[in-house]
Structure 1
Amino acid sequence: MGSADTVSFTPTPGWRDHDRRPSTPTVALPAGTVDAHCHVFGPGEAFPYAPERKYTPTDAGREELFALRDHLGIHRTVVVQATCHGADNSAMVDAVRAAGDRARGIATVRPDVTDAELAGLHEAGVRGVRFNFLSRLVEATPVRDLAVVAQKIAPLGWHAVIYFEASDLDELEGVLGALPVPLVIDHMGRPDVTRGVDGSAFSHFLRFVDRHDVWVKVSCPERLSVTGPPALDGERNAYRDVVPFARRVVEEFGDRVLWGTDWPHPNLTDHMPDDGLLVDHIPHIAPTARARQRLLVANPTRLYWPDDPPDTAVETEALP
């Protein structure tokens, strides 16, 4: 539960608020679509932001998330603990519980987390722990903490969600590859899209995914793009420079890819994306119905709702 005391928070100067009137997608999502990467922020009066946070957002609570989910045609969500809440998972757990079987959670925990605390999170719907190596967002996770927590969550069948910059992979690869849990990599490992899809850095990332038990989120084109969204001229093909990277991952690892909105898009400085446009981006990275069924339904269902009936979680082979 959040604090009973009323606390007022002022957003970080220059903070870009999320788009509260997203467009309606022109793409119809398949039944059972999962947004595998989104967040909730507060509201701060109910769930205060962490004293050690590096940013203070505007509130974006569960009711707004659920409204966006329904507007976009999404069935289920995976709510990832936001760094502004630190290791207090109350806001995330509250959202997951309120959604019932339509949500799962990804927590942030410290190395001293107890088995009882992990069991409580599991009962609430949490299925993984996130480790953030971006020092501009948090104090970077020591690799020893990662190893300790991974050992504790392995018996629960959880996975580790890893967020790092592309340049960090050389240093992290040995540690990540030795963990006793599956890995989910946020935002394709943040490739430099100006260096080309066949460049050495992205090729290294693909080899890493191929060698290990790794899932990849083909999410956040708005964070990776240099060209940005299109002009407001009716064109719905946005973030074109990111498309070759995401499409390569979808083609090579079709049974281990996930998609998410990243709503409410924390810490963006140049523009705030239209979530309807992000949905319309999907056919450009997953151009066939079968690829979209795997990306949006079969894969996240298998990872987060493995007890669902098989016909819910598997792709339809007849799809073109």
Structure 2
Amino acid sequence: MNFEMTPGWLPFHPNPSPPRFRLPAGSVDAHCHVFGPGNIFPYAATRKYTPCDASRQQLFALRDRLGFERNVIVQATCHGTDNSALMDALRHSEGRARGVASVSRSVSDRELLAMHEAGVRATRFNFVRRLVDFTPKDELMEIAARIAPLGWHVVVYFEAIDLPELWDFFTGLPTVVVVDHMGRPDVGKPADGPEFDLFMRLMREHPNVWSKVSCPERLSVSGPPALAGEQRAYRDVVPFAQRLVSEFPDRVLWGTDWPHPNLKDHMPDDGLLVDFIPHIAPTADAQQQLLVENPMQLYWQA
């Protein structure tokens, strides 16, 4: 089956630069994706976008080029609840990848067990309206209750403006809750302003809530190296991520977000994204927790 990419889609960087920052041994890229290939793992009929293919072979080659030891592969919305591409990647990872699946209420216990055996350790709930259609919260809560006995957690993706209305749902989940990309803060607002303070309060009051301090390229207004100067790339994101790493060092994760779906203005160099890490986690201890200890605890010890 042939698929045509969404017009204007930006393919991933063809030749990322080798990072100057040396990752700690055993580092985990805790947020990345595989797309298709569409002729083997077709994209969902209900998808909001059609990406370029981004295979497991390409992901694992990037892992090795950047210096990571492991990956956490997150089911992409373009594949809906058909986790075949994700499961294939996990089974070919030689134990070096874990997965975050997308499941519906109709998923069987047998299917959940097969996912667990392949390396899935979470399911993802997406609340970004431009990417997915609304799923009733009672259905999501039912799914959360079913995956909890497996030791899985729930990954949530939302935008900062929607946190007040989602607060009760998030705090009622019976699992660890991992927030994608710091809850997508508006980095044009102060990092110590009321909007981000609400997210900090969520984590402070609920020790089961974790956050990925990832995707500066998705959040930044100041822009990438070509626009901002290499040393100051994505500089407006730094204070937000630094706050989280400083206050919650044992509940933060980092990932590339490769192959960077739905970016509109530029495609980041993944090597330069790795070089962003010491700006938000400036000490060796913070880097070790962010890149090794925390993801290993959450995904390989569960």
> Is TM-score (shorter-chain normalized) higher than 0.5?
yes
2 CA distance for matches of 1:235 and 1:56?
Answer: 31
Matches within 5 A, 1:27-46: 27-46=21-40
Task: Report the Cα offset of residue 274 of structure 1.
Answer: 0.5
Q: Does the CA-based 8 Å contact 2:228-2:234 persist in structure 1?
A: no
* CA deviation string 1:184-218 (max 9, x = no partner): 00000000111111100100000001111111000
Q: Which residue of 1 aligns with 2:270?
A: 275
Q: Which residue of 1 aligns with 2:149?
A: 155
Task: Report the Cα offset of residue 142 of structure 1.
Answer: 2.1
Query: Which stretches in structure 1 are left out of the alignment for 5+ residues?
Result: 1-6, 308-320
Q: Which residue of 1 aligns with 2:71?
A: 77
TM-score (norm 1): 0.92
**What SS class does the counterpart of residue 204 from structure 1 fall into?**
helix
| Runs of 4+ in structure 1 over 3 Å off | none
2 CA distance for matches of 1:294 and 1:139?
Answer: 35
The answer as to 2:224 corresponding to 1:229 is yes
Q: Does the CA-based 8 Å contact 1:35-1:77 persist in structure 2?
A: yes
The answer as to 2:146 corresponding to 1:141 is no
Aligned length: 301
Q: Against the structure 1 CA distance between its residues 149 and 233, is the aligned structure 2 distance closer, same or farther, given a 3 Å change threshold? A: closer
Q: Which residue of 2 aligns with 1:11?
A: 5
* CA deviation string 1:50-93 (max 9, x = no partner): 00000001100000000100000000000000000000000011
* CA deviation string 1:262-289 (max 9, x = no partner): 0000000010011000000000000000
Match of 1:176 among 142, 160, 170: 170
Q: Which residue of 1 aligns with 2:205?
A: 211
1 CA distance for matches of 2:83 and 2:142?
Answer: 19
The answer as to 2:53 corresponding to 1:59 is yes
TM-score (norm 2): 0.98
The answer as to 2:288 corresponding to 1:298 is no
Match of 1:166 among 151, 160, 164: 160
Task: Give identity over the alignment, percent.
Answer: 64
1 CA distance for matches of 2:281 and 2:178?
Answer: 19
**What SS class does the counterpart of residue 154 from structure 1 fall into?**
helix
Task: Report the Cα offset of residue 237 of structure 1.
Answer: 3.9
Task: Report the Cα offset of residue 105 of structure 1.
Answer: 0.4
2 CA distance for matches of 1:238 and 1:305?
Answer: 32
Query: Which stretches in structure 2 are left out of the alignment for 5+ residues?
Result: none
Match of 1:251 among 223, 246, 250: 246
2 CA distance for matches of 1:237 and 1:36?
Answer: 24
2 CA distance for matches of 1:99 and 1:258?
Answer: 20
Q: Which residue of 2 aligns with 1:313?
A: none
2 CA distance for matches of 1:202 and 1:285?
Answer: 16
**What SS class does the counterpart of residue 147 from structure 1 fall into?**
helix
Match of 1:112 among 106, 110, 122: 106
Q: Which residue of 2 aligns with 1:188?
A: 182
* CA deviation string 1:129-177 (max 9, x = no partner): 0000011111133211210100000100000000000011101111110
Q: Does the CA-based 8 Å contact 2:126-2:132 persist in structure 1?
A: yes
RMSD: 1.1
The answer as to 2:94 corresponding to 1:95 is no
2 CA distance for matches of 1:268 and 1:140?
Answer: 22
Q: Does the CA-based 8 Å contact 1:236-1:280 persist in structure 2?
A: no
Letter aligned with residue 21 of structure 1: N
